[in-house]
């Protein structure tokens, strides 16, 4: 394992093998790109200006920008060169930066002094529905056990196009959405703040290589188009969703907000955590077939925290449970010639595991309101109440190596008057 001359706490999400990219600002500094290392943020713009990065093939300071899109556009060899440069620069024996206190002061910033910002200008947002357990649970609740999975579900990764404008950075508070709901099926709908506010435990990947309209990406090529991943909370208003979703699918029940974690973990950092996916039966069509391990062993956790109360963990799941992997999702997304842009965000869909303690939404955890969850103060929840905070964490761990995503936090405020 790599060790650094920077003091990195044991068990930190941000080891020298991780080096996730984000965008931050501090007092007096404009938004810029950074990399997380232990409890510090490495200011890539300052590092670039210092001249230490000369020779890695970047001709202007793409880090001095409010989004990572321009850096990402330089391509995978450049992402890898920066990663490799940083691993060398901060490696224990390397003294080129270590012994220069004046430079360190500008380049190495304590994480508690920075504010993290939306790292990507999101071009388009797609949400898949790729967890068999989640699709089955929701299907049972809405259609009964016999028709839980729709006939297409095991033949293609179901998805829909969401709204990019309302994807927000962790820490952004969300007002409870209002809309049409129909609490009584025998009465007309009413206009109301949502009474069934929920989260969805998801992860999203970010497109790092574009395609032309008309082109398709194979499962083999797909990962070349992925820059990295974040934790994704796809906030959902179940009562609005239930009334509106037939026949065209999710709309106002979903598009008021989704929250992302600030650090984008690259596919190179995730490589040691590849694992086999679930067996796919029936056999999928040739364009969805793949070779090798395309799932990732990423531990996921959800906590729910009422105001001024300790959080409780209400779910423990794993990204590896996904039935459809990212390569299949991308192959399907582009099979009709739909083009990809740098900065597109593709979310997994709620990631539920096989057991009740691994369910990825309140809808499933409290099973449509029938199994309340107890908070640390003794109060009960079947959905999210005003001033509750949802915290999601994700990390990979193996033989002492830890590559983590940090967390995504969001609080539900009362509906606007
Ligand atoms: Ca979703």
**CATH number of the domain that residue 294 is part of:** 3.90.850.10
Give strand ranges (E) for 253-400: 258-260, 265-266, 274-275, 295-296, 299-305, 312-318, 345-347, 373-374, 380-381, 389-398
Say how far apart CA 15 and CA 3 lie, in whole Å. Answer: 8
Residues 224 and 290 reside in one and the same domain: yes
Q: Which of 99, 117, 135 is the last residue of a domain?
A: 117
Say how far apart CA 128 and CA 348 lie, in whole Å. Answer: 5
Q: Which residues surround ligand 1, an ion (CB under 5 A)?
A: 127, 200, 234
Residues 83 and 225 reside in one and the same domain: no
Residue 2 has pLDDT above 90, yes or no: no
Residue 413 has pLDDT above 90, yes or no: yes
Residues 79 and 167 reside in one and the same domain: no
Helix (H) or strand (E) holding 205: strand 201-207
Residues 402 and 358 reside in one and the same domain: yes
The number of beta carbons lying within 10 Å of the beta carbon of residue 351 is: 29
Residues 194 and 106 reside in one and the same domain: no
Residue 13 lies inside a defined structural domain of this protein: no
Residue 300 has pLDDT above 90, yes or no: yes
* Mean pLDDT to the nearest integer, 232-241: 98
Mean pLDDT, the chain, rounded, equals: 97
How far does residue 258's CA lie from ligand 1's centre (Å)? 9
How far does residue 275's CA lie from ligand 1's centre (Å)? 23
* Mean pLDDT to the nearest integer, 207-234: 98
How confident is the model at residue 1, as a pLDDT? 79
* Percent of the chain predicted with pLDDT > 70: 100
Domain count of the chain?
2
How far does residue 327's CA lie from ligand 1's centre (Å)? 18
Residue 46 has pLDDT above 90, yes or no: yes
How far does residue 347's CA lie from ligand 1's centre (Å)? 7
* Mean pLDDT to the nearest integer, 332-356: 98
Helices marked H in 335-393: 362-365
What pLDDT digit, counting tens, does each position of 139-191 carry?
999 889 998 999 999 999 999 999 999 999 999 999 999 999 999 999 999 99
- Of 136-145, 252-261, 403-412, least confident by mean pLDDT is 136-145
Residue 412 has pLDDT above 90, yes or no: yes
97-136 b/e (C-beta count within 10 Å ≥ 16 → b): bbeeeebeeebbbebeebebebbbebbbbbbbbbbbbbbb
The size of the chain, in residues, is 417
Residue 389 has pLDDT above 90, yes or no: yes
What pLDDT digit, counting tens, does each position of 74-120 carry?
999 999 999 999 999 999 999 999 999 999 999 999 999 999 999 99
Kindly report the CA angle at 251 between 247 and 255, in degrees rounded to 5?
165
Q: Which of 59, 93, 117 is the last residue of a domain?
A: 117
Residues 347 and 374 reside in one and the same domain: yes
Give strand ranges (E) for 26-105: 32-37, 40-43
Phi then psi for 84, rounded to 5 degrees? -65, -40
Provide the β-strand partners of residue 301. 316, 393
SS3 readout for 240-258: HHHHHCCCCCCCCCCCCCE
Closest Cα to residue 129, out of 157, 102, 98?
157
* Mean pLDDT to the nearest integer, 368-378: 97
How confident is the model at residue 374, as a pLDDT? 98
Q: Which of 69, 101, 117 is the last residue of a domain?
A: 117
What pLDDT digit, counting tens, does each position of 4-29 carry?
999 999 999 999 999 999 999 999 89
Residues 210 and 88 reside in one and the same domain: no
How far does residue 126's CA lie from ligand 1's centre (Å)? 9
Residues 186 and 73 reside in one and the same domain: no
Say how far apart CA 128 and CA 141 lie, in whole Å. Answer: 19
For the domain that residue 68 is a member of, what is the CATH number? 2.30.30.230
Residues 248 and 368 reside in one and the same domain: yes
pLDDT band at 379 (very low <50, low <70, confident <90, very high): very high
Residue 6 lies inside a defined structural domain of this protein: no
Q: Domain of residue 167: give its range.
A: 125-413
Q: Catalytic residue positions?
A: 134
Residue 1 lies inside a defined structural domain of this protein: no
């Amino acid at each position: 394992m790599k060790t650094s001359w920077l003091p990195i706490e044991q068990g930190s999400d941000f080891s020298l093998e991780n080096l996730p990219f984000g965008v931050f600002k501090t007092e007096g500094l404009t938004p810029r790109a950074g990399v997380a290392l232990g409890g510090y943020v490495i200011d890539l713009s300052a590092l670039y200006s210092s001249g230490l990065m000369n020779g890695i093939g970047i001709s202007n300071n793409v880090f001095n920008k409010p989004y990572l899109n321009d850096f990402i556009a330089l391509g995978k060899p450049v992402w890898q060169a920066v990663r490799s440069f940083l691993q060398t620069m901060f490696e224990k024996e390397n003294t080129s930066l270590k012994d220069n206190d004046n430079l360190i002061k500008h380049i190495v910033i304590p994480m508690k002094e920075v504010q993290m910002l939306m790292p990507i200008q999101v071009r388009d947002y797609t949400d898949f529905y790729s967890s068999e357990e989640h699709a089955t649970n929701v299907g049972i609740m809405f259609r009964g056990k016999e028709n839980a999975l729709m006939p297409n579900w095991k033949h293609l990764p179901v998805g829909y196009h969401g709204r990019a404008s309302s994807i927000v950075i962790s820490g952004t508070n969300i007002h409870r959405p209002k809309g049409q709901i129909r609490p009584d099926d025998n009465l007309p709908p009413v206009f109301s703040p949502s009474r069934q506010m929920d989260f969805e435990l998801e992860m999203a990947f970010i497109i790092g290589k574009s395609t032309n309209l008309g082109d398709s990406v194979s499962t083999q090529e797909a990962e070349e188009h992925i820059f990295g991943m974040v934790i994704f909370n796809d906030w959902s208003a179940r009562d609005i969703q239930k009334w509106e979703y037939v026949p065209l699918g999710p709309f106002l029940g979903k598009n008021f907000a989704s929250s992302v974690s600030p650090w984008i973990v690259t596919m190179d950092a995730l490589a040691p955590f590849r694992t086999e996916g679930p067996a796919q039966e029936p056999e999928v069509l040739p364009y969805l077939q793949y070779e090798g391990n395309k799932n990732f062993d990423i531990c996921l956790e959800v906590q729910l925290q009422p105001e001024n109360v300790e959080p409780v963990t209400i779910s423990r799941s794993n990204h590896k449970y996904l039935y459809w992997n990212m390569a299949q999702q991308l192959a399907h997304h582009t099979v009709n010639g739909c083009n990809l842009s740098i900065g597109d965000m593709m979310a997994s869909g709620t990631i539920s595991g096989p057991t009740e303690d691994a369910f990825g939404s309140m809808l499933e955890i409290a099973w449509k309101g029938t199994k309340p969850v107890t908070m640390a103060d003794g109060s009960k929840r079947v959905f999210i109440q005003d001033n509750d905070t949802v915290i999601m964490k994700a990390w990979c761990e193996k033989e002492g190596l830890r590559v983590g995503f940090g967390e995504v936090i969001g609080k539900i405020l009362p509906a606007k008057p």
